[in-house]
Amino acid sequence: MSIDGQEHEKMSHLLPSFVTGGLDPKEGAAVRRHLRRCSRCRKLIAEYRTAFDAIGHSVPLMEPPPSLRTRIIEELPAQPPLRLPAAVRFILDHPRAVIAASLAVLFLFAGSLWLNVSGISGAGTQVSGEARAAEDILAVMSGTEVAPKARAIIATGADQTSGVLYAFGLPVPPEGYAYQLWFTKDGIRRSGGVFRVTPEGHAVHHIRLAVPLSDFPTFGITVEPETGSDDPTGSKILENDDSRSPGTDGGQKTSGFRTNL
């Protein structure tokens, strides 16, 4: 729906009064309706709010008694437990059932991934699809103490520079935050991209790097601002089960995968 220029003019004129609580209920409701549709006014109102907040920022600073800091820290209550969605709680309560179901999904998923990425179809390749898919599991990741029952796998495509992360059991991060995948080698980290989870805590994330994913012995997933970070700043949620030397254990990947699940 387009916004009438006159309406915008009238409403933007009311924004300072809206921010300072000076509108009657009818005008306030009209401004709120307009704000839902007008991104220019939403930006403007954020600026007016910041300007109004400046009144508070401008007070002369007074020194509180030194004992206040100690009192605040000493009397802090326990932080509320992390709220997990019902689906994640189910996963945590029924890990065996979920792992079994995920294993089945994993084989189907990884099989189709390999076939898709390799771009090859036909009876000959289909026969070996599942077996080959298992060989292409690059890493199995387990949850850290922050989310102990979270699990993920990274499967690579035929070109080795692309892949897919499949994760489940992840807590939904706070608003404005997402998960970020990291590849590490010799202390140097490379971002594997930012991804979100479904309300059930599942995620499928496509990865593409300039170098083979298998070059990296270590993988991690942290909580970061949804715009992504240059380096990990948040809690590590998942890490790979084994820190292996790249390129030395072709067959071991599969056995590690089987052992861990």
The smaller minimum CB distance to another protein, of residues 63 and 186, is found at 63
For the record, the structure tokens of 71 come out as 């009192």
Single out the segment in contact with another protein by CB under 8 A; choices: 31-39, 42-50, 100-108, 116-124.
42-50
Tell me if 61 contacts another protein by CB under 8 A. Answer: yes
Walk across the sheet containing 188-195 and list its strands: 188-195, 177-185, 218-225, 236-240, 137-143, 151-156, 162-168, 203-208
In whole angstroms, the minimum distance from the beta carbon of 70 to another protein comes to 9
Which one among 234, 241, 246, 260 touches another protein, defined by CB under 8 A?
Answer: 234
Where does the chain have alpha helices with state H?
5-19, 25-37, 39-57, 67-74, 86-93, 95-118, 123-135, 250-260
Residue from 1, 6, 36, 80 that binds another protein (CB under 8 A)? Answer: 80
122 forms part of the interface with another protein (CB under 8 A): no
Q: In whole angstroms, how close is the CB of 120 to another protein at the nearest point?
A: 44
Nearer to another protein, 53 or 159 (CB): 53
**In a 3-state reduction of DSSP, which class is residue 176?**
coil
Tell me which DSSP letter residue 235 carries. Answer: -
What's the N-to-C CA distance of the chain in angstroms?
A: 52
251 binds another protein (CB under 8 A): no
| Amino acid (one-letter) located at 94 | H
Provide the minimum distance between the beta carbon of 186 and another protein in the complex, in angstroms, as a whole number.
25
Asked if 169 and 96 touch (Cβ cutoff 8 Å), the reply is no
Among 9, 25, 104, 175, binds another protein (CB under 8 A): 175
Stretch that binds another protein, among 62-70, 115-123, 160-168, 184-192 (CB under 8 A): 62-70
CB of 224 to another protein, least distance (A): 9
In the bound state with another protein, the residue whose beta carbon lies nearer, of 77 and 119, is 77
Q: CA 153, CA 156: separation in Å to the nearest integer?
A: 10
Give the separation between CA 27 and CA 16, rounded to whole angstroms.
Answer: 12
Binding site for another protein (CB under 8 A): 13, 16-17, 19-22, 47-48, 50-66, 68-69, 71-73, 75-77, 79-80, 82, 174-176, 223, 225, 233-235
